[in-house]
Structure 1
Amino acid sequence: MKILVTGTAGFIGSHLAKRLLERGDEVVGLDNINDYYDLRVKYGRLERAGIESSSIEYGKLLSSATESNYRFVKLNLEDREALHALFEQEKFDKVCNLAAQAGVRYSLTNPYAYIDSNIVGFINILEGCRHFGVKHLAYASSSSVYGLNESMPFSTSDNVDHPISLYAASKKSNELMAHTYSHLYKIPTTGLRFFTVYGPWGRPDMALFLFTKAILEDRAIDVFNHGEMLRDFTYVDDIVEGVVRVIDNPPMGDPNWSGKHPNPGSSKAPYKIYNIGNNSPVRLMDFITEIEKNLGKVAKKNMLPLQMGDVPATYADVSDLVENLHYKPNTSIEEGIARFVKWYREFFRV
């Protein structure tokens, strides 16, 4: 298959592109390589796949030096004309949209970045799929859409109408927009609610990266909600396995779906939502203890209250994933953190 993967300078996108290439797919990667976090990590991910950073030009498709089936283009999703031209030229079989302005806390101070990338950019993706015969659109949603929901574990059949950050609201909007296109134009779409992804090549704005860096530099770490946060930490390889299975299994629509008792996670249209999480929430303090163990160093801690826009707990119900795709993430935090710390020390030479 020829697959467009957006966000391939990003954490999950870079891992997904590598996995698809390994199994023989043709991949076109797209990313705007913004400076939201350390560009060394973004360019490092691209160079790992044979994309030379010195050769990248906006709007120009660049062939990988090491992967014969991989090309990359630097592009903004909100660049409607350029994205339309890319879809018209390449005639993708499937699309996996992982590009987005990420981060809950950043949305408190930079709201327009989320509208541009996550709303305007997503409608441009949908229009490309509509006009150029894409057979399946898989896209990243987020566990943050559950917002004020306190029913645990979070289920895709739950109502998610109470987001508490603009980032979450933008992801909920993506799900609504996708359903509209699935209904009107019969485009199969699948939304993926990721739960706290971590692992090698991870995002520098995420807890594992921040904690590891601070501990090694002998700086205090900020521990929100006094360490009583619960997170369904999910290892990146588990996430990628789930995404690949989703890409390969476009939704057909549920003939038993009822508008009298509507299930928000499915539809009569070819539309589906999945949680991808470890289904085993971990206390933040236990997570920190595991990092300390791998670094051989105890962290200095600033104990702080819950931050605005954050939820105290996440916990994924993955029964749909198990039932429909016969898959459940299972990497332990002990194994995952050890792999991350090994990568971190090698990449930053510390």
Structure 2
Amino acid sequence: MKVLVTGAAGFIGSHVSLYLLERGDEVVGLDNLNDYYDVNLKLDRLKRVEQHKNSYNFSFVKVSVEDKEAMENLFEEHKFDKVVHLAAQAGVRYSLENPHAYIDANIVGFMNILEGCRHNQVKHLVYASSSSVYGANESMPFSVHDNVDHPVSLYAASKKANELMAHTYSHLFNLPTTGLRFFTVYGPWGRPDMALFLFTKAILEDKPIKVFNYGNHKRDFTYIDDIVEGIIRTLDHTAEANPEWSGKDPDPGTSKAPWRVYNIGNQSPVQLMEYIETLEDSLGKKAEKELLPLQMGDVPDTYADVEALVKDVDYRPQTTIQTGIGNFVDWYKDYFKVK
């Protein structure tokens, strides 16, 4: 297959690109290499992809998804078989500071992806949604069959909007689309603005870590390899219509159109304090904790029901936090030359 991977220099996108190259697919990686966080980390991720033994199947384009003309030209030139859309303005908290960035990248950019797929006979679009769409929902575990109409951050609202926009294109143009609601992704080559990265850096530098909600968070932490496996399995399993779907009793997780959404989470929520203790064990060092209240836009708990993923693609994430955090710490020490 010829696959477009947007956000190819990102945490998840670089891992997906490597997986696709490993199995022999042709990959066009797109990223705008913005400075939301350290560009050097993005470039190093990209270097890993470009040094793969099948790198002759990889090409990179530096483009922003919100650039309408550039995206039209890219789709027309390459005629992709499938698209994995991971480029986005990430971060719940940053959406409080710079809301326009989320409209540009996550709404306008997604519109350009949908139009490119529509006009160039793309066989399947898989795109990143987020567990944040569950917002004020307190029914646990979060199910794709739950209502998700009460987001508590603009980031979450933009991801919910993506699911709605995708449904429209699946309905109008029979474009198969699959949205993946990721649950707190972590692991080697992760984002510096995420908790595990911030905690590790602070602990090693003998600085206090900020523990929000007084450590009472529960998160369904999901290891990067599990996320990638879920992406690939859904990419290979083209979204189909649900023939039993009824407008009289509408199921939010399926449709009469070839449209699907799935949770990808560990289905095993972990208390934030336990997560920190596991990190302390891996580092062999205790953290100094600054306990703080819940931040605006955050939700107290996340917990994924992944039964739809199991049913349709026979996959359930299962990496423990002990294994995942250990792998991250090994990578962090190697990458930053920490002894």
Match of 2:302?
314
Contact 2:222-2:265 within 8 A present in 1 as well: yes
Residue-by-residue CA offset, 1:225-283 (whole Å, 9 max, x unaligned): 00000000000000000000000011110000000010111100000000000000000
Q: Do structure 1's residue 226 and structure 2's residue 196 form an aligned pair?
A: no
SS of aligned partner of 1:268: coil
Q: Superposed, which structure 2 residues align to 1:63-82 within 5 Å?
A: 67-82=55-70
Match of 1:13?
13
Separation (CA, whole Å) in 2 of partners of 1:273 and 1:47: 32
Query: 2:97 pairs with 103, 109, 131, which one?
Result: 109
Structure 2, unpaired ranges of 5+: none
Deviation of residue 106 (structure 1)? 0.4
Deviation of residue 294 (structure 1)? 0.8
Match of 1:254?
242
Match of 1:277?
265
Q: Do structure 1's residue 145 and structure 2's residue 133 form an aligned pair?
A: yes
Contact 1:231-1:313 within 8 A present in 2 as well: yes
SS of aligned partner of 1:49: helix
Q: What is the TM-score normalised by the length of structure 2?
A: 0.99
**RMSD across aligned C-alpha pairs, in angstroms?**
0.9
SS of aligned partner of 1:244: helix
Match of 1:292?
280
* Aligned partner letter, 1:174: N
Deviation of residue 65 (structure 1)? 8.9
Q: Superposed, which structure 2 residues align to 1:168-183 within 5 Å?
A: 168-183=156-171
Structure 1, unpaired ranges of 5+: 52-63
Match of 2:75?
87
Query: 1:132 pairs with 108, 117, 120, which one?
Result: 120
SS of aligned partner of 1:68: helix
Match of 1:25?
25
Contact 2:22-2:54 within 8 A present in 1 as well: no
Deviation of residue 66 (structure 1)? 6.2
Q: Do structure 1's residue 96 and structure 2's residue 88 form an aligned pair?
A: no
* Aligned partner letter, 1:46: L
Query: 1:208 pairs with 196, 200, 210, which one?
Result: 196
SS of aligned partner of 2:290: strand
Contact 2:145-2:251 within 8 A present in 1 as well: yes
Deviation of residue 39 (structure 1)? 1.4
Contact 2:7-2:88 within 8 A present in 1 as well: yes
Runs of 4+ in 1 over 6 A off after TM superposition: none
Task: Work out the percentage of aligned pairs sharing the same amino acid.
Answer: 69
SS of aligned partner of 1:30: strand
* Aligned partner letter, 2:57: N
Q: What is the TM-score normalised by the length of structure 1?
A: 0.96
Query: 1:120 pairs with 108, 118, 137, which one?
Result: 108
